[in-house]
Amino acid sequence: MPKRKNRNINTRSGFSALMRRPAMQLAIVAFVAFIIYLIAQAGGGGKGTGLAAEVNSEAGYQMVQNGAFMLDVREQSEWDEYHAPMATLIPLGELQARLSELPKDKEILVVCRSGNRSQEGRDILLAAGFNATSMAGGMKDWYAKGYPIEGTPPQ
């Protein structure tokens, strides 16, 4: 009858022994934390730009006062009704083809009528490497707060 080896749990070798070492356990925890950090940075609100994904009209106005570039992605007819005097119009449908007209060295505040198209415009800019955010409430909220406009919005 063959002799049975009696294994002692303290004499394991290979991967199991390596995993029992506190230094290795700490290294694995640190590695997992680093991966989670990278995922959070890649998919975070500002997409790694430092800007929030979206700001309200008060914060948007302050950004413009501090030198941010204001990009209006509405259609020409909406722009003609009223717009912020410091804004630049590039309709959303033309944005991808006109990225070269935008500053790479400034924060960009993307606006539209109510805040929906500006989110799409912001995402296009972020994917192209710009530092951009969108403004919730759009030009409707901008006007309601009494910020400067040119033209007359419909009542």
Do 60 and 34 lie in one domain? The reply is no
> In this structure, is residue 49 part of a structural domain?
no
- CA 20 to the chain's CA centroid: 41
Domain count, the chain: 2
CATH of the domain at 83: 3.40.250.10
> In this structure, is residue 95 part of a structural domain?
yes
> In this structure, is residue 106 part of a structural domain?
yes
- pTM of the shown model: 0.68
Do 39 and 93 lie in one domain? The reply is no
Report the candidate in 47, 49, 30 with the shortest Cα–Cα distance to residue 39: 47
Structural domain boundaries enclosing 103: 54-151
The Cα–Cα gap between 24 and 27 comes to: 5
Do 18 and 69 lie in one domain? The reply is no
Do 39 and 62 lie in one domain? The reply is no
Q: Can you give the pLDDT at residue 14?
A: 74
The Cα–Cα gap between 5 and 8 comes to: 9
pLDDT digits (tens, 9 = 90+) for 40-94: 666 544 444 567 889 999 999 999 999 999 999 999 999 999 999 999 999 999 9
Q: Which class for 119: exposed (0-12), middle (13-18), buried (19 or more C-beta within 10 A)?
A: middle
